Amino acid sequence: MVDITSEKNPRIGVFVCHCGTNIAGSIDVKDVVEYAKTLPNVVHAEDYQYVCSTPGQKKIEDAIKEKNLTGTVVAACSPRLHEPTFRRATQEGGLNPYRFEMANIREQNSWVHMHEKEEATAKAKDAVRIAVAKASLLQDLKPKFVDVEPAALVVGAGVAGMQAALDLANAGIKTYLIEKNPTIGGRMSQLDKTFPTLDCSQCILTPKMVEVGRNENIELMTYSEVEEVDGFIGNFSVKIRKKARGVLTPDEAEAKGIVGGGCNGCGDCEAVCPVIKPNPFEMGMKPRKAIYIYHPQVVPLIYTVDFDSCIKCGLCQTACGEKKAIDLEMQDEFVDLKVGTVVLALGYDIFPVEKKTEWGYKQFDNVVTSLEFERLICASGPTGGHLIRPSDGATPKRIGFVLCAGSRDNTGIGKPYCSRFCCMYSLKHAHQIIEKIPGAVPYIFYMDIRSFGKMYEEFYYRIQDEGAKFIRGRVSNILEDPATKNLHVYAEDTLLGRPVDVELDMVVLAAAVQPSAETEKTRRLFGVSCSQDGWLLEAHPKLNPCGTTTAGVYVAGVCQGPKDIPDTVAQAEGAASAASIPIHLGKVELEPYFAQCIEEKCAGCGMCVNLCPYQALSLVEKDGRKVMQVTEAKCKGCGTCGAYCPGGAIWMQHFTTPQIIAQIDAFLVGGEQ
């Protein structure tokens, strides 16, 4: 039941922070304190150098005890970081922690009015007066605790998602790993070697893929997508669409009573399938059938039917024989999951670099992207690791690498950010051709070489030493000699100050990267924000890089912004750790900012029910009439319902109508209530 009585004799303490010169440099702090002392209900006011420091917090505790305060106001910085600190200090002093109010005189005042001391001081006084008015009416509130479903969901099974899932699983948590492709591994499985150690990418990835496939705590769902999301931290309900794969796993076959059946990856079906399509894993440079696997190391090793190109001739079914693994009439299925926390690891795509027409990608045969280069140089790739020119199959000797191909580009066509791994992989590519092709010379066209990681600068040194030619200048355009299909690469060697025309056999574009195609849809389902460029937004770039503004949802890997494998894995471990905490605690605390129904006033009209954007409201029978009921764990305290209710039956805790009116009055009429 809601108690709407307010404090009879409020006694408020005000603490004004200097924040070094952040505040005191543009606001007369002493003057603000003297002013605060004159405000109604204020029985104590003081200033301090850093109120958030241990002695500063102690001042709040002491004042509460000595002056018998009923509420505290700190005039300082943004509540985003320090509200919890001051709440704790208020609680230590013996008050309910919600009897604290903050006046942001730094971000909203001293910082924006740096050179207007007088006006800024006057504005600080306004802010303090408003905060005191509210503090006088604050009430004791109790946070709500909700139980946490002891399971986690990881979306996307690139190296980020795999690492996060493994960490969660190894911490004893049941983990669902969802991947839209038929296999896990993501982009990393398309790479040949990895900088700066030059490990074979698939060799270091396959053991992890196998581990993911085998881990008892991981329930792997490949060829699956998130369809619907409902709920909140601790209690997410997620509907997964298992796309019709057309092929049964041995387990699925057994469930259907087919003894010893299901796909064992033998490939008999593939051999007879008459449909030929480009394999996207090989960047379209190798064919696959309508029934296919991407590559021999896929996990799980199960074939998939591409129903968009399958002609349903049934030859595969005959070839599969007794295993009866193939079902050409298979339909999508839906699975409902209950999880406590979620990690998004949605990865990235390559920017369509043909949009920068001056470099001739998709116009000239011998201009390729770096990801295509990875497949062309890879022993398991379409050419068995023999780098060839697409135009004539010849071995290229002079190869150009165009860095920042669409990155650091403010024209609106490319991407304004640095893609962060192209410098390093282009150095790696230069090394690879020197190693594989006798006499090969790499020309690296660069603006800056960003070799910022551990052992990265040393790697740059090594490639330079191996004979790569570095030309400091961005490539302006590329033209093809129609007779030879050789490429003329134009740039300025900015160190010489001369334009160059370098004739090359092949050019590799280090194309920018962008969020993967499904990122936008998926992040919306989970209510996660994104930056202007579409990368998922972390809760705080420095202090909460794995969290998001949606409690219980975390991010890992390139979907949060370009990063290489070491950084991806490190962030994935961070996200897994963050996602495991609520699960291990078993319950989470919700701030008590939820709506309350004053049942005597509720007419049961139900208008608010449909207005709530979070489906937190419902009508229930009580004492023979209908009243509104709040599912507190779902309410985000947005206030939509409270502002609407014509009968004033909705009470917004911590933002009550009397509190807000008192604030407005304090601003307009100077504090008299």
Q: In the numeric block, which tokens belong to residue 75?
A: 């005039």
Rounded to 5 degrees, what are φ and ψ at 273?
A: -65, 130
Residues 366-405 that bind another protein (CB under 8 A): 404
Q: Are 467 and 441 in contact (CB under 8 A)?
A: yes
Residues 510-569 that bind ligand FAD (CB under 6 A): 516, 518, 522, 557-558, 563-566, 568
Burial bucket for residue 610 (CB in 10 Å: 0-12, 13-18, 19+): exposed
Q: Which does 418 bind (CB under 5 to 8 A by kind): ligand SF4, ligand FAD, another protein, none?
A: ligand SF4
User: According to the binding rule CB under 6 A, does residue 431 interact with ligand FAD?
Assistant: no
Peptide linkage before 300 cis (omega within 30 of 0): yes
Beta-sheet strands, E only, within 127-249: 144-147, 151-155, 174-178, 193-194, 199-200, 218-221, 224-232, 235-242
Q: Which does 450 bind (CB under 5 to 8 A by kind): ligand SF4, another protein, ligand FAD, none?
A: ligand SF4
Shortest Å, Cβ 341 to another protein: 41
One symbol per residue from 143 to 182: x for binding ligand FAD (CB under 6 A), - otherwise; what is it?
A: ------------xxxxxxx----------------xxxx-
Of the pair 404, 507, the CB lying nearest ligand SF4 is at 404
How many residues bind ligand FAD (CB under 6 A)? The answer is 39
- For 641-663, the DSSP string reads HHHH-TT--EEETTS-HHHHHHH
Judged by CB under 6 A, which of 132, 510, 569, 579 binds ligand SF4? Answer: 510
Q: Distance between alpha carbon 388 and the CA centroid of its chain, in Å?
A: 38
Burial bucket for residue 334 (CB in 10 Å: 0-12, 13-18, 19+): exposed
Q: In the numeric block, which tokens belong to residue 392?
A: 């004539």
Q: Which residues contact 342 (CB under 8 A, 6 or more apart)?
A: 152, 153, 154, 155, 236, 238, 526, 552, 553, 554, 579
One symbol per residue from 314 to 353: x for binding ligand FAD (CB under 6 A), - otherwise; what is it?
A: -------------------------------xxxx-----
* From 55-63, 232-240, 279-287, 470-478, span contacting another protein (CB under 8 A): 470-478
Judged by CB under 8 A, which of 397, 462, 474, 626 binds another protein? Answer: 474
* Three-state secondary structure call for residue 556: coil
Judged by CB under 6 A, which of 528, 575, 616, 645 binds ligand SF4? Answer: 616
Q: In the numeric block, which tokens belong to residue 513?
A: 């990267």
**H/E run at residue 668:** helix 657-669
Q: Which does 195 bind (CB under 5 to 8 A by kind): ligand SF4, ligand FAD, another protein, none?
A: ligand FAD
Judged by CB under 6 A, which of 141, 301, 418, 619 binds ligand SF4? Answer: 418
* Three-state secondary structure call for residue 492: strand
User: According to the binding rule CB under 6 A, does residue 422 interact with ligand SF4?
Assistant: yes
Shortest Å, Cβ 546 to ligand FAD: 13
Query: Residues interacting with another protein, by CB under 8 A?
Result: 358, 404, 408-412, 414, 447, 472-477, 490-494, 497, 499-501
Query: Residues interacting with ligand SF4, by CB under 6 A?
Result: 403-404, 407-408, 418-420, 422-423, 448, 450, 510, 594-595, 611-612, 614, 616-617, 630, 635-642
